[in-house]
Every structure is written in C-alpha cells, then in structure tokens.
A and B are shown apart, each in its own frame.
Chain A
Amino acid sequence: MIDFPILSTLLAIPILGILFMSLIRANNANAERNLKQTALWISFLNFIASLALLFSFDLNNPEFQFVEHYFWLDSSISYHLGVDGISILLIVLTTLLLPICILASYDSIQFAVKEYLISFLVLETFMIGVFCSLDLVLFYLFFEGGLIPMFLIIGIWGGERRVYSTFKFFLYTLAGSVFMLLAIIYIYWEAGTTNVVDLLSYNFTYSEQFYLWLAFFASFMVKIPMWPFHTWLPDAHVEAPTAGSVILAGVLLKMAGYGFIRFSIGMFPDASVFFAPMVFTLSIIAIIATSLIALVQKDMKKLIAYSSVAHMGFVTLGIFTFTLQGIEGAVIQMISHGIVSAALFLCVGVVYDRLHTREIERYGGLVNKMPFYSFAFMIFILASLGLPGTSGFVGEFLVLLSIFSVNTYFAVFATTGVVLAATYSLWLYRKVIFGALVKDDLMDILDLTKKEIIIFVPLIFLTFFIGIYPKPVIDIIEPATSNIVKNIQGKLS
C-alpha cells in the first residue's frame, strides 16, 4: 500500500486550482483566457493523477485500497476514503470528462467565466468524493454538495427556462435525499457507526432493512432516475449548457447507480431481494416507455435525455439480479453511457454552437458540409444503440444475459428496448445528418474545429476500446464485484 494520500490529493487539486484562479482579478479577454487555461490544466492534472491511481491499483485485491482514515466528528464519524475496482473507474471517468467539459465551454460561455469554471472544479471535487467516501456522512455531504454547483450551472448559464428546470432538478433530488439523511441518522444510532466497511458486515433486522432500503432508494431512484421520477432529467438537460449536460449524464446519474451497488444491495440484501421485482418492473417500464417517448421528440437534447433514462434502466436491471454478470454489466454500462451519452451531448453542442437551436427539424443534410462531425456522431449513435464492437454492447449484453437467468419476462421486454433504441437513434441521425442540404442557414455551416476533434478523439477511442477489448476494464471490476456478490450471498444464506 502506498502511503501517499492520493485520494485526498485528487480531492484537493481542484480546490487548489480555485485558489489560483481567484488570484486572477482582471475582467478582460486576456484574463478570461488565462482562467480557462488554468482550469483546463488543473483538471488535466487531476486526470493524470487519477491515472496514477489507476496504474498503482492492485488488481488482485478485492478490498478497498488507498484507504485514508482520519478522526473527524467523533469516534464513529470519520474522514474515511478508499476505492475498489468499481469506484476507481468512475473516478477516472469523472476526471476524464472534466477537461473535456472545460474545453467544450471555451467559446460557448460568454459571461461570468470565472464563476462558471469554479463551479465545475468544485463539482469535480464533490463527484470524486462521492465515489471514494467510505463513510456515510461524508458520502452524504459530497452527494448533496454536488447539487449546489450543478444548480448554479443550469440556473445561470442555462437556456430560456433555466430557472424552472434548475429548481425542479434541485428540489426533486433534495426531496429524495432527505429520506437518505434520515436513514443515515438512524443507522448511526442503531449500528453506532457510519463506517461503510463496518456496515457492510453489519446485519440489520429484516424490518429495519425494509425501511432503510426504501429511504436510500428514494434518493437514488430520483437521481438515476427511474420511472416515474425521471421528469426532471429532460428539463434539466434541455436547459443546461452543453458541459452541464455532459457532467449530468456522464457522472451525476452514475452516483445513484454506484449508491445502489455500494449501499442498497450491500447493506440491505434481504430488502433488496424483496424489492427486486419492483425495481425490475420500474426499469422495464422506463426502458420501453422512455424509448417510445424518445421516438416522438422534436428536441435533440430531450431525445438523448430520454434515451439516458432507458439506458439507466439497464443499469438498475443488472444490479438487482445480484449476479456477477449483472453487476459487472451494470458497471460497464454506466461507464459506457458516461462516455457515449456525454459524447452525444457534445455532438448536440457542436451544432447548437453554430445554429443556436436544438430542434431536429431545423437540421438535415449536415453530412454534405460536416463529414468529420457526421463520422463522430455516427459512432456514438451506434454505440448508443448497442452495436457489438462498441462499448454500449458489452454492458447491455451482460445485463440482458443475467436478467434472462433470473426472469425471462423481463429479459424479453428489456430486449425489446434494444430494437426501440435502434429506431429512435437512427431516426435522429437520419433527420439531422442525412438528406439533401436545403435549409438556407445550414449552407455555411463549418465542420469540426481542431478543438472539437481533440475532444472527440479520446471518446471515440474509448468507445471502441471497451467494445472490442473490454478485458482490462473487466479485470479491474471483477474482484470487487465478486466480493460484493459473495458478501450478499453470505448474508442471505
């Protein structure tokens, strides 16, 4: 074990960056450029640091690694960090998307640049914190703290209905999380600790599990989001600036999936088994209903937002099968969705920057003028509809495989979702990209700039890499997952 507190470093780098940036005082174009550069380098530095974390990760150790444990509030509420194979990948996903977000906002953010960048860096610290906290109180702080910068990002730099959307987003998630806070307080009094490692081996009584599970579920189901608590997501996405959507779809939704894996099924296995059919049903409704809704959308971002709900439906399906394949599939699906949906929102951002509309009808025939863009967009559309060889397939396949072994009804319905995904994705692509170029305002549209190409290249690479050779990723996930599955089965029997 390395003694260097690398996780705390990851948390600290963005905050230190903010201190640097607050030194830049002037309010002119030069200062703005410096601010952007600083933020970019800070986030890139954090990405490098997370890679260092990844490469010094011990693949054969299923326990939490890089653990830091300090006294904090009292003997049982502590500053306790650590990662396993699941959380480490989500941390790297976060640090990867952050520089991309900042780069994507270079030209599209026109005012209050400093505040915008600071919001993102604060958000980064919170998101990393969520994935490496091993204490419930700490987790809750990071989980809820993330709402504040996101609230500002949508509410200040968003579109026309930004105030409505941001309040909806904030209050909705907050309302869900209140129950989780109550549950955490209860756990503290009952189990005497909020240490996650201890709690994972603590046995709650059946009725305790029942209520505690529901309380955590309330928070996570809103966040992930599951049908019927998903309506904040399309609104939030539509109004958020491009980078906001990228983070929202790429990382924020995964916090809930991570929560399900780490807390719900780990601490309350009996209740999880009891509620699994309900989760399956809601996931299936989400997959089919939101896919059908995506089919009739007129707004590009809304379509992708609804498809996100459907994709996250696969994640919850996989987690609650309690099988190795299911949970691994869910994690891979989360990572893949983090890359692909982020990229799709970036794709929308590209044309939004040029034409300032997201209406599908306003586009058409872009391939005539934007071959590179069409190429990138095509790859992410294919990954989104789960074509084998792209990252979208691996997770979906494992999830469907596991759900088939649990219940064939759900498997049949979930597989229908794959057909629908092809329909809305290809329909969107056709309307925007194919056809003759006839609309006047599209005549002078420019293809991807160098900066945009730099943004897309790593995402394209990862999409194929995970799709064709996912072994390195699975190698990281597998020990942690089998540990979780073993823990559940041990508790259930």
Chain B
Amino acid sequence: MAYSIVILPLIGFLISSILSFFKKNSSIDLASQIITSSFIVISAIFSFYIFVDNMVNPKILSLEIFTWIYSGSFEASWSIYLDTVTRVMLVVITFVSALVHIYSIGYMSHDESIPRFMGYLSLFTFAMIMLVTADNFLQLFFGWEGVGLASYLLIGFWYRKPSANSAAIKAFIVNRVGDFGLALAIFAIFIIFGSIDYEIVFNAAEKYKDVTIYFVGYELNAINLICYLLFIGAMGKSAQLFLHTWLPDAMEGPTPVSALIHAATMVTAGVFLVVRCSPLFDISPSAMGFVTFIGASTAFFAATIGLVQNDIKRVIAYSTCSQLGYMFVAAGLGAYGAAMFHLFTHAFFKALLFLGAGSVIHAVHEEQDIRKMGGIGTFIPITHLMMLVGTISIMGFPFTSGFYSKDAIIETAYLSHSSFSTYAYLLITAGVVMTSFYSWRLIFLVFNGKTRMDEEKYSKVHESSGVMTVPLMILALGALLFGFLFKNYFIGDYSESFWDHSIIVHHEEHHHIPFYIYYLPIVLGFLGLFIAWYMYIKNTKLASDIAKMNKPLYEFLLNKWYFDELYNFLLVRPAIWTGKILWKFLDEYIIDGFGPNGIASLAINLSNRAKKIQSGYIYHYAFAILIGLSLLITFFIFKF
C-alpha cells in the first residue's frame, strides 16, 4: 500500500506524458484526465487509510527500495519512511492533489494540452511524496528539487506568455538559492554525523551538541550551522522574507497549480523540513530564534502587501506567504505540533480560496483584477458561499479550522519565553487584523457592491460546473471541521501518542491565559472585517482617499517594498555586467590578446623583421660582416 501511494502518481505522469505526444483529440484528453485523477484518488484513499490506522495504532514503517548513491562510507537509498509527520503530509498532499486533479478537468477543459497539464500535476505529486517519505536527506533533496522542477513547468505552462516564462525561471532560480543552503547543510551533516540517514542523525544529535566546525574561516557550533543552512533551504521553498519574491510571480501559472503547489503543499515543504529536523533545531536555540524572527517578519510583511494588491490571486499569494510565517513562528518557538496543525488546516482553507478564486476568474472571463469585478455574488452563489467559508476560516472565526490552529500559535507566542517570542507575538497579532481585512476586502470587492464590469461581460457571468464546485465543497468541509476534529491529536491531549516521537513534543505547564489574550484574536478578526466592510461597502470613497493621503506608503506597499527592484539592481544586473566584462575584456582582450593571439602576432612581427634582414643584397651582408668583425675585435681587445 505504501508503494502504491508513491508509485501511482508516477505512473499517471508517465502515461499522461506519453499521451501528450499524440495529436490533440478529446478521447486522449479524457483518458489522461481519468487515469491521472483516479490514480491520485486511489493514492489519497490509501493515504487516508494509513493516516487513520496510525491514529489508532502508531507505528513507524521503513522500507528501503534500492541503493541510490554510495561512495565509500557515504550511502543514500531510495526509501519509504512513514511516521506520523509523513502520514499527515501524505494526507494533505494526496487529498488536495486529488481534488485539484478533478477540479482541473473542469478548469482546463478548453486548454489545448490537457495531457501535459495532468501529467505535470501528477509529476508534482510524485515528487512531493518522495520529499516527505524520504528516510535520508538526499532523497529529501531529490523531492525538493523535483517539486521545484514541477513548479517551474507548471508556472510556465502557458509557454507563449513571456511573463509566465520569466516567472517560472525566477521561481526555479530563487528556489535554487535556497537549495544552495540545503545542499551545504547536507554536506555539513555528513561531515559531522558520517551519515545522512534521519535515524542516525537525529539519534546522535544530542551527542554532537557542542561539536564545532570550521566554516569559511569561522569556528561555529556545528548544529547551529546545520540548522541555519537548513533554514535557508526552507526559506527558499516556503517563500519567506528575502526569498519570497518568486511566489507572487508564480501566480502566472494556471489557478489549480496555485492552489496545489503554491498554497497547500510545496510551499509548506519548508515548514515540514524544520519540523522533520526538530531534533536538530531543538538543541539550537539561536537557529530557533532566527526561525521565529523570519517567520514573524514574513507574517507581518506579506500581510501589509496583501492589503493593497489588486490581483485576486496575488492577494491570496501574499496571504499564503504570511500564513507560512505563522507556521514558522510556531516551529521556531518549539511548538512543532502547532506548526503542523496550521499547515494541515491551512492546506484546506487556502486551497479552497484559490480554487474559489479560479472559479471566480472563470466566471468573469479570465479577468483577475478585483477592481474590475464586483456584484457577482448573486450569479455564482456556490462559489460565493465557498469563498465565504474559506474567509471565515482564515480570519479565525470561532470553531472553524483556522481558528484552532491560529489561536494555538498566538497563544504559544504569548506564553513562550524563547528569543523573539514577544516580537513574534506582536507582529502576528497585528497580522490577524490585516489578514481579516484583506480577505474580506477581496470578498466585498468581488462579490458585493455595484459591479465595475462591462454590461456585456457582466450579463455572461456564470457559475462553474459540478466538477469544479464539488471539490470546493469537500475542501470547505475540511476548512470548517478538520480543526475541531483533529485538534486533540495535533496539539491537545492525545498529541504525544499521536506524534509518537516523530517530532519533539514539549510539555509546558499549563499557564493560565488571561481571558483578554484568549479573545483578542477573535476581536481583532472582527475588527478587520468591520474595517473592510466600512471601507468597501459602506463608504466606498474612503479607500481611495486613504490611498491618496498616504501616497508614499501606498506606493511602497503596492510595489511590494521594492524587493524586485532592489534584487534587480544588486544581483541581476551586476551578474550580467560581470559576465560581459569577463567575456569581452578578460577572455577576449586580456587572455586571448596576450595569450594565443598575442604570441601569434609577436611571432609574425618578429619574423617580418627577420625577413627584412635577409634582403639578398651583397653590400647588406658585407656590412653586417664588417660590423660583426669589428665587434669581435673590440671584444677581444678589451678582454685581454
């Protein structure tokens, strides 16, 4: 069963890619849709089964498939390793992936290369499963780069659009910067522990607590170094501050892709990595502080940008970025269970929001600018309702999934005494207002008020077909119920037996949380809702007035804190210039000029001169003999 979870998406991918080479016709499209979707559905059912099975009877399953790379004492295998963390991830991945596959049948029905799209989705699912089922860091790295590749292919799926191509390349390269950290971490782990197997490394972690390593001239604590490097990898994949720029651009890809890869699964791989390596992070307080700091900063920073964006998908993308920050805060404070819990619930409500947004985009004829929508709620009631469910879950409305997981994080931050916990508490609490505000702003601008669309288009707004709305409903159930259903397992009373040593669960005495701390997030959530309502329903002029009054701030946020411009200025252009200088000046002018070409022209020059001496005239030669003779005579006279 474990094998089939892994292998079915791969088979789906292979079949679908073969189909994609055939000439387009509807039966081939249908075949690829049915094959890939049904394979993933089976995979999802199996995953759910082993997940529930594990809740009843926790056990670790470890299968080695075959050796991958070995060399001397280094060895890494292809493997399947199932503990609770993996099982949770498998449920999230296959469940969302199955729904996205089905949704895509409707969403992409008019596309010209359906098998290719379905194949890429399955490829992604396969790579993501490889990532989470690894029992060593190298297979993790395989999955890590594999999902990067699938993301690259899917963002650039509409390859005729130049913007999609640029976004795809940007995503891959920014991720590679993160991978650079991860790769170095793997090297360091091998040097320190002599192995890259999770089991060996994690069991030995405590023993190597005070080992130091020389790294670029500094003597550093090895565990600290490894954790920082691992986290650089996580920052790239999870789009945290400084390495976040690719995520909003990734919205160039088709919307189901955004839901699957850039909301529910791939971007959470960074959180998974930190949680998976909790035995390492837990003994490195400084790295933990850094994780908290970056997480909290991202949660705040991305939320501020989300406030003013006008592209429906980019709003949600920044929201994802911000929510990932919440997860890192939890992980950084040692509440790995809470981080996984938020990862779990977030997957459902965020995928719901994205797929809902896809349905909206479909309804309004591929328009993505929310300023050009409005008042379409009555035409697409199901989508409207589903989006509302997603929104109340993300704002933390009591008893929804988002409420439980987000509250757990905020409470952890309040109670914790780790470094940066106060900083994190303040920023993520402020984030709650903003989250609620931008989510409701989106809802109000899209569904309520007077429409800002053309008459003709407005009259053609239509609800999506069942193949798209049913996945929405299933996700909505998750967004509403899963928090309540699973909270005792992830963070509550059963957490220790549930996690079964797959992560570190800290026991802290239950501090009494003041009631105002407990209710504050709820109140703040409603405050955000109220402001959004006031600005976009009640007094619609207010928003533009505020924007005008604070123009510099507004521009600053609208332009995403100018990160792209900064990187372009600091990295991209210098790289191109250096390349040109190295090529034209160093290679062609200096090296060739003084090297081969220089020597060649020197040889020609010298031989030209030598040629002139041999003129063939007797008197030239006689003259030369005369000079030579006189020099010789002079020499002998003076010598003796």
Contacts and interface: CB of A to CB of B under 8 A. Distances in A.
Contacts of B578: 292
B159 A434 contact: yes
Given A412-B184, A415-B183, A434-B156, A469 B177 contact: no
Interface string B183-208: 11011101100000000000000000
Contacts of A470: 68-69
B160 interface: yes
A397 interface: yes
A367 B146 CA distance: 22
Contact of A422 (B72, B160, B173, B187): B173
Interface in B110-151: 138, 141-142, 145-146, 149
A293 interface: yes
Given A382-B149, A409-B216, A435-B160, A401 B190 contact: yes
B619 interface: no
A491 interface: no
Interface string A274-309: 000000000000000100111111000000000000
Interface string A221-251: 0000000110110000000000000000000
Given A405-B191, A422-B172, A289 B215 contact: no
Contacts of A401: 74, 186-187, 190
Contacts of A418: 176, 179-180, 183
Contacts of A451: none
B68 A231 contact: no
Contacts of A482: 72
A307 to B, nearest CB: 13
Contact of A293 (B146, B172, B587): B587
Given A404-B187, A408-B216, A412-B184, A296 B70 contact: no
B233 to A, nearest CB: 12
A329 interface: yes
A30 to B, nearest CB: 36
Interface stretch (A74-82, A262-270, A334-342, A387-395): A387-395
B269 to A, nearest CB: 14
Contact of A371 (B21, B169, B588, B592): B21
A478 interface: yes
A400 B169 CA distance: 24
B172 A400 contact: no
Interface stretch (A122-130, A209-217, A346-354, A423-431): A423-431
Given A231-B595, A435-B159, A474 B216 contact: no
Nearest to B145: A388
B160 A365 contact: yes
B466 interface: no
Given A365-B160, A434-B156, A231 B72 contact: no
B582 interface: yes
A171 interface: yes
Interface residues of B, number: 55
A168 B596 contact: yes
A306 to B, nearest CB: 8
B514 interface: no
Contact of A468 (B68, B156, B165): B68
B184 A419 contact: no
Contacts, number: 142
Interface string A376-415: 0000001000011100001001101100110011011001
A186 to B, nearest CB: 25
B180 A416 contact: yes
A421 to B, nearest CB: 9
Contacts of A372: 21
B190 A415 contact: no
Nearest to B152: A426
B579 A292 contact: yes
A365 B149 CA distance: 20
A295 B571 CA distance: 13
A389 B146 contact: yes
B180 A419 contact: yes
A427 to B, nearest CB: 7
Contacts of B162: 435
A471 interface: yes
A400 B190 CA distance: 12
Q: Which of B70, B179, B592 has the most CB atoms of chain A within a 10 A radius of its CB?
A: B70
B191 A404 contact: yes
Residue of A329, A430, A468 contacting most chain B CB atoms (<10 Å): A430
Nearest to B162: A435
A253 interface: no
Given A409-B216, A412-B216, A474 B71 contact: yes
A462 B176 CA distance: 25
Contact of B71 (A325, A365, A387): A325
A172 interface: yes
A172 B596 contact: yes
A84 interface: no
A404 B190 CA distance: 10
A401 B76 CA distance: 13
B616 interface: no
Contacts of A329: 71
A387 B165 contact: no
B596 A171 contact: yes
B631 interface: no
Nearest to A329: B71
B176 A419 contact: yes
A405 B71 CA distance: 14
B176 A398 contact: no
Given A397-B69, A404-B191, A469-B66, A296 B217 contact: no
Contacts of B583: 293, 296-297
11 contacts: A231-B588, A292-B575, A329-B71, A388-B145, A389-B146, A398-B71, A405-B187, A405-B191, A423-B169, A427-B169, A482-B72
Given A296-B579, A416-B180, A435-B162, 13 more contacts: A228-B595, A296-B583, A329-B71, A394-B69, A400-B183, A400-B187, A404-B188, A418-B183, A419-B176, A422-B176, A470-B69, A471-B68, A474-B71
10 tightest A-B CB contacts, nearest first: A404-B187, A292-B579, A324-B72, A388-B142, A296-B579, A434-B159, A293-B583, A436-B160, A295-B579, A325-B71
